[in-house]
Amino acid sequence: MSTSLAATQAAGGANKTTASSASSAAAGATFGKNFDTFLKLLTAQLQNQNPLSPMDTTQFTQQLVQFSSVEQAIRQNTNLETLISMQKNSQAANAVNYIGKTVEMTGDKVGVVNGQGTITYTLPEDAGRVVISIYDSSGTLVRRMDGDTTAGDNFINWNGVSDSGQQLPDGDYNVEIAAQNATGGAIATSNKLLGVVTQVDYVAGTVMLTVNGTKLPLAQLSTVRGVSGIDF
């Protein structure tokens, strides 16, 4: 279970919030300087105008209205940034509730932890053959094996060993599932990750769930099945 959510939220989400706040602050400071300059010029003009031919107030009234509109836009942008930041922080905090629960995540990865990983896929019908291809982060094929051919959810345990018999390091691996029916026709498969959420992180404004050692965005969550304890 992760205890680093607050830290990652502060390091990740806070950086983006700080950058946005700095941008709004800079815009506000620039506006303030320009408005002060305008008022000084306007005051000087009013003080030095010809009493017999006073200034037309229409022009500087329009300028005042324009400055007011700019000020309101800056304030609205600042308020919007604050609301977005609050929403993201709330989403990250709520995601902690997924820790310890069994979930389904869409994706084509398998996470190997302590030399073990579980590959999950769904078949719409019984297949004649299913071939599972596993690739490392560089795109190199490290293992190819046959999978279950039964319609529905299938769970294949992989011990992290390559075709050459080498024990591969823990980490994320890409998975491709190729299924064929009895006559050799292709069957569409749905790859997913089924497992227990063990950690929640907030990375670059995105909530990430760690399932079976693999980090996936919260947006890829498809089903929450309940507390841990499902046998694969």
How high is the pLDDT of residue 2? 38
How high is the pLDDT of residue 14? 44
Residue 196's alpha-carbon distances to 64, 101, 104, in angstroms, are 60, 5, 9
Contact residues for 118 (Cβ-Cβ < 8 A; gap 6+): 110, 155, 156, 157, 158, 194, 195, 212, 232
Provide CATH code, domain 101-226: 2.60.40.4070
Residue numbers of the chain with a pLDDT score lower than 70: 1-39, 41-42, 45-57, 59-61, 63-65, 67-68, 70-71, 74, 79, 81-93, 226-232
What is the model's pTM?
0.54
How high is the pLDDT of residue 143? 97
Tell me the domain boundaries of the chain.
5-98, 101-226
* Alpha carbons 176 and 133: distance in angstroms, whole number: 5
How high is the pLDDT of residue 8? 40
How high is the pLDDT of residue 146? 95
How many CA atoms does the CB half-sphere of 218 hold within 13 Å?
19
